[in-house]
Chain A
Amino acid sequence: MDEELTHRPVAQGIWSTGLHLSAEVRAVTPQIDRLLLDLGVQTEDLRQRLVQRVLRRLQSQVERDRPSGLALAEHAVRETFAFIDDWIARAVAMAGAECSDLMPLRAALVHGALPDWPQALLSPPLPGICERLLAAAPRPLPAAAPLAMPTAELRLRRFRPLAWLLRCWPRRG
């Protein structure tokens, strides 16, 4: 179930989560917001709620690693994707599936495999989501089924017309 959030706009357009967010963490809100927008989260309300989730994750990271400035902003971008990936990993685990690489599932998600994915991210994954993601995940290669293909032997003849003529020439004696 979604955790309680207090959507209370503050002076700089930051919404309180009920958890204390440091000023430098709040400062990366526009980057996360824009990233989510470009990922296809069109609804502002949804975006705000997702931003809060990411910010809270980020806050705990900041307290541990103390990044600042651009490093923090980069961290925020990473954390946004980590937030999505964690949700996908939970969906995969729920389905009892094994998936060593979440990247294809993330691509499927942001390309609309689940039409309401931004909303879905706010709740724990429901059963069946993993299957839908897997069905839409890019699969560039089939399972390997190797077949030996040896190099063919092609013995070329050397075409030497002069030598051929000399051989044909009648010899004395």
Chain B
Amino acid sequence: MPAPNTQSVHKPVQKTDAPAATDHIGTQSPEPPSPARRVAHALLVFATVAFTVSLLAGAVRADGITPLELSLLLLYALLSGWIALAFWTAVAGFFVMLAFGRRARRTALPASSTARVALVMPIYNEDPRRIFAGIEAIWRDLEDTGEAARFDFHVLSDTRDPDLWMDEESAWYELCTRLQAHGRIFYRNRPENTERKSGNLAEFVRRCGADYPYFVILDADSVMSGSTLVELLARMEAEPRLGLIQVPPVSVNRASLFARVLQFSGGLYGRMYCAGLAFWQRGESNFWGHNAILRTQAFAACCGLPRLPGREPFGGEILSHDFVEAALLARKGWSVVLAWDLDGSYEEIPPTLIDYAKRDRRWCQGNLQHARIVGAHGLRLSSRVHLAMGVMSYVASPLWLLFLALTAVEAWVQSRAVPVYFFGDTTVPIWPDTYTFELTSVMLATLAMLFLPKILALLLLLLDGRARRGHGGLLGAAGSVLFEIFFAVLLAPVMMLFQSKFVFATLARRNVGWPAQQRDDHATRFTEAAGAHLGQSLLGAAVGLWAWWYVPHFFWWFTPVLAGLLLAVPFSMLTSRVDLGTWMARRGLFRSPEESDRPRCLRYLDSALANGPTFSEAGVRRVLTDPRATSLHLALTPTGDPLTRRERHRLEGVLLALEEEGPAAAINRADCRFFLSRREGPALWLERVRAGARPSSGGASEPPEPEREREH
């Protein structure tokens, strides 16, 4: 009988260059890249840019193009290209969805298939209740499919906070016991979180990847339905060249107004964009880091990420691993597919504008780092496009900022020019040329590219009764779209400034680290909002005053941007409110199908969150005072090598601090982790505190003080 908590069976290391792994490379790809579609897409983008830029150039070149105007034209070309890329993707998606509808194709799982799938969830300082509620929801939904036995769960914790670590252990064991899932749901906490998430995944693959032909990566807030997971497995089994299938996650479960708007827009437009992306990317699609199934052998063979030369932020560990992993898979001929037709893939988004910006700050550094990888040898063109798009999604903000600044300067220069109506001896005035037509056309073309996809999405809604009802009916959806446009107008300048700041901070080599996210709904306080946005509002006020004073005719063009900046503090506070979000939802605004017709896996999630474990005290304190929690922790702590003399001293130091100050002693995180990662620490503490070496500080479960009078 195998000993629990020991890796008693050590299989030989399976080599990923074995023929079994690469036999498929020569076979037909399930979704071969389509050059015709890509060329068509690129031509449409270039034609759009050429059209809008030629109109703009016509307006400025009459009296020669100044360097300032040339800069404006170049910037506009770049930015309109960026908008046109998204626009034509949406148009392609519209026609794809018009042709195929929302129905997902279903693949039969071969009867002979015995493949097992690992559902891996890398976590880092997340809420343990939410983590294990998500796992429970997926587990229960898988059980309903009858295929649950094929799936194991692996919680790969990189959590550094000792309290959360201890809570994770307790919640994990409680869940395993409740679901009778011992040996099916695994948990480990890495002693060192080297190479962050990609290192965490690599550790899993190197430790037990040979047992699972496929693995699904989940985020801490991911939920996937059982039927979708089985479908993913069936697709992988059916297509031996498939390396990765990404299922676009739908944002759910947040109730703040901010999150509701994003959930609504993601739900309404997201699938159309994804269908468009899948249309031109085909089998060289992208990976978004979670809610995707991967072929383990392919991943192991291709995706061991190297360190980039140089120092952070552009060198060192690759932060945003997903795009790079997709590129490396595609480089070796593995298909990477975006399964836009599949439902049952969910995630949660930051509940407030400030949390959203914080997440962007993390992603920004990772995406900018890709600028170094875009040109790497051997990558497919589509992978380079993905990487460049990732870079551009952040660089676009400072470019817009620069564009606006140069436009303001140009307006100021124009305002100082004195018009001359009479030349030479002529008495007939020569009126200056007007370029109203050209400039209005440019503006209309830009607005069309921004807003037409929203109308297309509403048209698709007409054809889909279930989605229409889910989004609050056609009127509700149309009203929500109008409000969302207003919301986007106010949000865009704020995010432009945030992202510009992040880009400059990254370029200035200011590391952002990898902070954990706050995922629960919570209202933004005034001090928090003022701290984050006051600078933006002041900048908006200064620019507004300058424009009003020096270029009054231009001021009104600036008002959408200025309004967003001036209202940033109240906007941030109001949109963080749950009551406003709920109020809107009651009136049929910003509703999503997942709310009105809740999928089974999300109902399981609700139930698991309601019935999940509650911890009355902090994790470390619980392990130090409750002998049952200590026993569990000791069971999960491997018996390491004997302590060195230095380690013994370090351990003794922590013990002394605990004896002096009790379980609430201020011990630094590193020492606390060291103490908890060795069996000797908690075991010794348990003996000492229980023996009464430290007086109890109250509470029913506190160990007693020794009754010294009885010693005599």
Contacts and interface: CB of A to CB of B under 8 A. Distances in A.
Interface stretch (B72-80, B95-103, B628-636): B628-636
Contacts of B211: 142-143, 145
Contact of B636 (A12, A140, A148): A140
Contacts of A28: 691, 706
A38 B13 contact: no
B525 interface: no
Interface in B569-623: none
Contact of B208 (A23, A103, A146, A155): A146
Interface in A93-147: 95, 97-101, 103-107, 110-111, 134-147
A149 B206 contact: yes
B691 A74 contact: yes
Contact of B207 (A105, A144, A157, A159): A144
B465 interface: no
B7 interface: yes
A101 B636 CA distance: 11
B316 to A, nearest CB: 13
Interface stretch (B107-115, B181-189, B535-543, B544-552): B181-189
Contacts of A54: none
Given A38-B628, A148-B300, A149-B202, A30 B4 contact: no
A74 to B, nearest CB: 4
B123 to A, nearest CB: 14
A150 B16 contact: yes
A34 interface: yes
Contacts of B636: 138, 140
Contact of B627 (A39, A138, A150): A39
Interface in B169-219: 172-173, 176-177, 180, 182-183, 186-188, 202, 205-211
B703 interface: yes
A2 interface: no
Given A27-B710, A138-B182, A155 B628 contact: no
A139 B16 contact: no
A121 to B, nearest CB: 14
B208 A99 contact: no
Interface stretch (B83-91, B277-285, B301-309, B475-483): B301-309
A104 B639 CA distance: 12
Contacts of A135: 180, 182
B329 to A, nearest CB: 10
Contacts of A110: 627-628, 631
A97 B13 CA distance: 27
Contacts of B432: none
Contact of A31 (B303, B378, B706): B706
B528 interface: no
A148 B206 CA distance: 6
Nearest to A151: B304
B508 interface: no
Nearest to A78: B687
Given A35-B690, A70-B692, A107-B632, A101 B639 contact: yes
B14 A146 contact: yes
A111 B687 contact: no
B686 interface: yes
Contact of A111 (B3, B177, B376, B693): B177
Contact of A143 (B8, B176, B686, B690): B8
Interface string B273-317: 000000000000000000000001101111111101100000000
A157 B11 contact: no
B5 A148 contact: no
B13 A147 contact: yes
B426 interface: no
Contacts, number: 231
B303 A147 contact: no
A141 B7 contact: yes
A155 B628 CA distance: 52
A106 to B, nearest CB: 5
Interface string B679-700: 1000000111011110000000
A139 B691 CA distance: 30
A69 interface: yes
A61 to B, nearest CB: 14
B1 A155 contact: no
A50 interface: no
Given A27-B710, A74-B691, A152-B328, A147 B5 contact: no
A40 interface: yes
Contacts of B466: none
B429 interface: no
A100 to B, nearest CB: 5
Interface in B356-387: 372-373, 375-378
Contact of B703 (A12, A34, A103, A136): A34
A152 B304 contact: yes
A76 interface: yes
B147 interface: no
Given A77-B687, A152-B328, A137 B16 contact: no
7 contacts: A31-B706, A99-B1, A137-B635, A143-B8, A144-B9, A149-B299, A150-B304
Q: Name the 3 nearest CB pairs between A and B, nearest first.
A: A73-B691, A27-B710, A147-B209
Given A110-B627, A139-B5, A148-B206, 11 more contacts: A31-B692, A35-B703, A97-B1, A101-B3, A101-B6, A104-B4, A110-B628, A110-B631, A145-B208, A146-B207, A147-B14
Interface of A: 12, 23-24, 26-28, 30-31, 34-35, 38-40, 68-70, 72-74, 76-78, 95, 97-101, 103-107, 110-111, 134-157, 159
